[in-house]
Structure 1
Amino acid sequence: MTSAFRKESAISQNFNYREDIQYVFKLNNWILGSLGIWPIATRGIRQHASKIAITLCNLALAFAIVPCALHIIYDEKDIIMRLKLFGLLAFCLTAMTKYCILAIRRPKILRCIEYVKSDWWKVTFKTDHTIMLKYATTGRNLTIIGASFMYTAGIIYHIILPFCSEHKVNNQTVRPLVYPTYSKFRQSQISPIYEIVYVAHCMCGYTIYSVTAGACGLAALFATHACGQIQIIISRLENLLEGENFKQSPNVHQRIAAIVKNHVRVVRFAAVVEEVLQEVCLVEFSSSVCTICLLEYYCILDWQEDDRIGLATYSLLLVSFCFNVYILCYIGELLMEKSSQIGYICYMINWYQLSPKTARSFILMIAMASHPIKISAGRMADLSLSTFGNVLKTSLAYLSFLRALII
């Protein structure tokens, strides 16, 4: 697709194209690029860098998950500690699943990126550039806030929390690790093996939090871009009769054809985004119910035990997870609301000043807008604010059941 849209014009119609592209993609490139997920067209040895990064990150995840699972099964007898470690293990497995899905979907991600690049390449009017920049800023801000919460909580959990409590096994103090290891692996307490294991655990944590923040950032990037394109279509419809912001379209028929062409393009782009995100969103939502429930329970336990550092850490993690789910639901709601406005605008313009044959052209657009663009979690639940409310209510219901079961 890159060559296709570059052939349309030897020089980009957007003089700020490079700066705009860097502004739009910079954060997601940093987060997902470090994991080998962000698709980059390179040659030579650099083209294998993503494969190496994916392999190393999966090894780091397995290095933490397998010993932790063995510890839960064979070593840990306390039900409360098992519950805490189970939440950690479930979070790791969920992140690993999302990581594998994103790695498999790299060609689709590249296709969405090319869609975005093409739209920025073709920007002609200043008003269109302002609209696109506004929605790009919204997506960027959502990514920054979500990543800030997630990384801050991760740093506290991996660097501060393990060293704030005393660790003893058989009346012997042991050096703390982020993820517990199987008792048969006694060498993990000996230097320099301990330092290597600790660094591997931190690398695992970075992978987990980057996958979580990167998936939300990717959804925010593509969804807000689609909203920006829809807003441009709406502005075209509002100025249909005057003919403003139309390139070489002297009559209404050509203007309507250009609007329909842009609308079809947005719908196709949204379909590709749906293919990229539906499995990730399904895993995110199915795991978030349990993860939020467990984090709420951990906060209650630390409140009762007056563990302020643990309470602050789990509270920050809880806010991070809730905000990530909220981001997905918010952009889904925003996309549905914005795409449904097209039908409303088609009716509200002065269509009665057009000929009956020309006015009938809006019927199909109104019919398409009656089925707004949606992002779903595995085609099972649409992302919306009502879905976010259902996630919170379900997690609270599970929390009540869990407390009754443990007590």
Structure 2
Amino acid sequence: MLNLNYDEMFKISILALKINRSYPTILKDKLWLFSVIPMYGLFCFVFCLISNSMIFHDLKNDNFTAACTSGIFAVLFICVSFKYSVLLTKTEDITFAINKVKGDYASAKRLCSEEQAITSEYANRASWVTKVWLLTSFSVFSVFPTQVLVLSIYYYAIGDFQFVHMYQMTYPEALETNKNETYTYLFLLFMQIYYGLYVLLMYVGFTPLGLIFMLHACGRIEIVKYRISKLFEGEHYDPREIQQRLKNILMPLQDVLDFVDLLKETFRVVYEVYMKATTIVIPIALYEILEALKEARLSIEFMTFIVAGVVLCFAPCYYSDLLMEKGLSLRMCVYASGWEAYPDSAMRRTLCIIMCRLERDVAIRTLFRTVNLDAFSELCHQSYALFNVINAAWT
């Protein structure tokens, strides 16, 4: 028997959001507040250090390379804070979506074997996406502490030991003067690792949510499509049987369309921010890589930023495009079902209404555009154009 458990399949995302206290079902009481304030406060403290370095040192001294590095870390702070605000302001909607998926998994036990297979397929795909995103995010984060460890061992091996900082920046005078003293260095290293872990938790926890919901919607549309293909199955035309089959089609169809509308409203601004942030981060990271190559260095950390940024935007564009394709495929399935050959006018009108309803794209939208592969292509063009401007202005 099919046994899909949301909490078990997506425990990585759930655990990450519970650790940083942003999971929608966590009670927002005084205990929550007292835990969030110090956690987010330390995160803000490191952001202030980064901003101080970028504004009062890097830009002031025309060190554009260092300013770009600090700028990328500052963008991460803005994105993480925005995601946290979405989880707080859209708590009810996200909780409803999670419970909807859980309810559909529970009710899948009563479906036929073909529909159970469809549900299981898309649930497993969503679980796979969550694991891939964990691997991608952790790969980006792990580059920085690995770099610190490797360089520290190297300097020790050649007899010239020195402290290696995780992020290169200029600190306020009190910290800058003593940054290479043991306790000050350990404090700064702890804060930098904490900053990276906080970003990692939010990206691992929040980013897969939209993908999980989109894949679930694709699965529900596939089930409706399967039922339409069986609508006129049988040797004899039985109006009562057809009416019951139509009922089993209309209710889940309206259900999944309402679910997609909820996703559109919940993630409308989220994916717009993803697109804009990635459009900025990728050209800056490319510029940093080129500058490093000029100095005969290989900037692995910025290469991973580019890979993560591409995956971050490509995944929702791809799955939203898949969702749109499923909606179009469903409409064609209704049209090709052979409805015109049956005498029941009420049934024909119902199917015509379904086709009219499916004329509107079943896809996620941002504030200005549909999230699909065309949007990703446009993002790549904009990033390349911005890279050319940066490269021409500061080379």
TM-score, structure 2 length as denominator? 0.87
1:180 maps to which residue? 169
Which residue of the partner structure matches residue 4 of structure 1?
Answer: none
Task: Give the letter for the 2:263 counterpart.
Answer: V
1:239-260 Cα distance to aligned partner (Å, 9 max, x none): 11237xxxxx952112212211
Q: In the alignment, which of 349, 371, 376 is matched to residue 360 of structure 2?
A: 371
Specify the SS of the correspondent of 2:173: coil
1:258 corresponds in structure 2 to 248
Q: CA RMSD in A?
A: 2.7
SS in 1 for 2:10: helix
Residue in 1 that maps onto 2:326 = 338
Q: How many residues of Structure 1 are paired with residues of Structure 2 in the alignment?
A: 377
Task: Tell me the equivalent position of 1:147.
Answer: 134
* Cα separation, 1, equivalents of 2:64 and 2:288: 13
Deviating more after overlay: 326-335 vs 192-201 = 192-201
SS of residue in 2 equivalent to 1:176: coil
Give the match for residue 104 of structure 2: 119
User: Taking structure 1 as reference, are residues 98 and 162 closer, same or farther at Cα in structure 2, changes over 3 Å only?
Assistant: farther
Q: Is the 8 A contact 1:154 1:209 kept in 2?
A: yes
1:110 aligns with 2:95: yes
- Residue 215 of structure 2 corresponds to 224
Q: Secondary structure at the match of 2:202?
A: helix
Contact kept in structure 2, 1:36 and 1:50, CA below 8 Å: yes
Q: Could you say which residue in structure 2 is the equivalent of 1:276?
A: 266
The corresponding residue for 2:376 is: 388
Partner deviation per Cα, 1:332-387 (whole Å, 9 max, x = no partner): 1011111122211111112134224122211111011111222122x212110011
What is the distance in 1 between the residues matched to 2:280 and 2:370? 19
Pairwise mapping of residues 150-299 of structure 1 onto structure 2 (< 5 A)? 150-160=137-147, 164=151, 176-178=165-167, 180=169, 182-186=171-175, 189-242=180-233, 251-299=241-289
- Which residue in 1 is equivalent to 2:386? 398
Distance 1:97 1:193 in 2: 31
Residues 300/230 of structure 1: CA separation in 2 closer, same or farther (3 Å cut)? same
**CA–CA separation in structure 1 for the residues paired with 2:80 and 2:118:** 34
**Helix, strand or coil at the partner of 1:69:** helix
Q: Please give the per-residue CA displacement for 1:237-284, whole angstroms capped at 9, x wherever unaligned.
A: 0011237xxxxx952112212211111111111122222212211211
Q: What are the residue-to-residue correspondences of 1:283-362 with 2, within 5 Å? A: 283-308=273-298, 310=299, 312-357=300-345, 358-362=347-351
Contact 1:98 1:283 in 2 (8 A): no
Aligned residues of 1:75 and 1:183 also touching (Cα < 8 A): no
Q: For the structure 1 residues 53 and 278, does the alpha-carbon distance in structure 2 shift closer, same or farther, using more than 3 Å as the test?
A: farther
34 and 138 in structure 1: CA distance in 2 versus 1, 3 angstrom threshold = same
> Which residue of the partner structure matches residue 159 of structure 2?
none
Question: Could you tell me which residue of structure 2 aligns to residue 64 of structure 1?
Answer: 46
Unaligned runs of 5+ in 1: 1-14, 168-172, 244-248
> Which stretch of structure 1 is more off in the superposition, 390-399 or 267-276?
267-276
Does structure 2 retain, via aligned residues, the 8 Å contact 1:178–1:201?
yes
- SS at structure 2 position matched to 1:241: coil
Match of 1:170 in 2: none
Which structure 1 residue ranges, 4+ long, deviate > 3 Å from structure 2? 46-57, 161-167, 187-194
Distance 1:149 1:273, change over 3 A: same
- Corresponding position of 1:86: 71
Q: Could you tell me how far 1:122 is from its partner in structure 2?
A: 1.4
Once the 2 structures are TM-superposed, how far is the Cα of residue 113 of structure 1 from its aligned partner? Answer: 0.7
* Structure-2 change in CA distance of 1:127 and 1:37 (3 Å): farther
1:196 partner amino acid: F
Q: CA deviation at 1:23?
A: 4.1
Matched, 1:138 2:129: no
The 1:179–1:221 alpha-carbon spacing in structure 2 relative to 1, beyond 3 Å, is farther
Separation in 1, partners of 2:94, 2:113? 28
In structure 2, what is the Cα distance between the partners aligned to 1:255 and 1:205?
53
* Structure 2: tracts of 5 or more residues without a match: 156-161
In 2, distance between residues paired with 1:209 and 1:281?
A: 18
**TM-score where L is the length of structure 1:** 0.85
Change (3 A) 1:271 1:39: same
